[in-house]
Amino acid sequence: MNAGCLTIKELTDAVGGGITPRMVRHYHQLGLLPQPVRSKSNYRLYTDKDVLRLQRIVALKQQGFQLNHIHQILEVEPSSDPTTMMMAQLQRQYRAVMQQIVHLRQTASALEGLLGRDKDCQIMQAEVLSQLKLLSVETQASMGGLQQLWSGLDAEVHAHPEDFHFALQSLLPNMHERSEIEVDLISQLVLACGDVSLVPFIKVGSGAIASSRQALKSGCKIIADIPTVAASLDNTRLVYLGCQVETLIDNPHITTVQEAEQAFWLSQGWREKLYQVPKGCILVVGYAPSVLLKACEAIEQEKIQPALTIGMPIGFSHAPAAKRRLMQSSIPFITIEGTFGGGLFAATALNALVGSLIEKPDCHCYQSKDSKKN
């Protein structure tokens, strides 16, 4: 065997990341990895260059790129100008991925329409399932029959209110390793957007639930990034807990993410105000990614120490970056990976935590101290 060369098993051990010899052979077939030289005994032999190439493939795959995207990225030579050709190719691939998501979302919606039905709809549900087996969608008449089936199923919804708890039991993935409070928080976030696929992207940092509950019971301050987020909080129960809500960017005319982002950058005063938030507060960021980025910087420099940071800003580049930085910080956090976000999500997360402390009677304006949970 050639000196300095690796077998396929040694290659996968060197790269790690869950890569297997079978996957390496598949990458050869796709042209992602060049065919290696072979020993006299016909064993594949790999070099340090192959290790580096495979490490790049694994790293890009872990970032969410599909294999055909990775092939395009790795084939662009550094000496060439990738700006026009490469970006156009990636845009085409992005549109194709989005189209696949649309088709999958349509499939998911159809399944949710059946699986998410509550007990009162199950008799009609069983009838629809039995008729779906007989359907053919090759003709316009049969398409009309399909619509008639859904109409019959939908007719049942007028007889009673929707049972969200029952529907979620059928649709949510297994979360037995999470606490009851965390499951309720995730359920509330799903209900805020109606998208069960959100669940894997919801990240709750270690100690976040316990830290936030203790802070809320101690009457901590709540700092929201803009008035829209503050207005969505359950202020009645927060007042009962003794928690005062403050707004970082306290301009009532700022209502959009673009306005919030620009305003925060232009105002030195608001950036300085962020550095003055009290220790043990709960920071709720639902709009401006720059607020979360600056907060993470302040946390790293030990200038502020929130009991919890709810980081759910909106954005397509800065927001995901801010959330990654938050997840790498040493303080408790709740966030949603990627571009998902918004003030409704951020407020819903805090309201779920508050709800874990205080039962909500018909009118919680008349709370007694006995209604607090331990």
Region of residue 329 (phi > 0: left; psi between -120 and 50: alpha; otherwise: beta): beta
The pLDDT tens digits for 199-233 are: 999 999 999 999 999 999 999 999 999 999 999 99
When pLDDT is averaged across residues 356-369 and rounded to a whole number, the result is 64
Q: Is the pLDDT of residue 61 over 90?
A: no
The dihedrals phi and psi of 282, each to the nearest 5 degrees, come to -115, 120
Q: What is the pLDDT of residue 152?
A: 61
Going by C-alpha positions, the residue among 76, 19, 82, 90 that lies closest to residue 50 is: 19
Within 13 Å of residue 161, how many CA atoms lie on the same side as its CB?
3
Strongest mean pLDDT among 39-48, 259-268, 280-289: 280-289
Q: Quote the DSSP letter at residue 364.
A: G
- DSSP letter string, 194-230: T-GGGGGGEEE-TTHHHHHHHHHHTT--EEESSHHHH
Q: What is the pLDDT of residue 155?
A: 66
Which is it for strands 282-285 and 308-311: parallel, antiparallel or unpaired?
Answer: parallel
- DSSP letter string, 159-191: GS---HHHHHHHHSPP-TTS-HHHHHHHHHHHH
Q: What is the pLDDT of residue 5?
A: 86
- Residues 136 and 146: their CA atoms lie apart, in Å, by 9
- Residues 25 and 9: their CA atoms lie apart, in Å, by 11
Q: Is the pLDDT of residue 333 over 70?
A: yes
When pLDDT is averaged across residues 358-367 and rounded to a whole number, the result is 60
Q: What is the pLDDT of residue 121?
A: 61
pTM above 0.85, yes or no: no
Q: What is the pLDDT of residue 140?
A: 44
Band of pLDDT at residue 156, cut at 50, 70 and 90: low
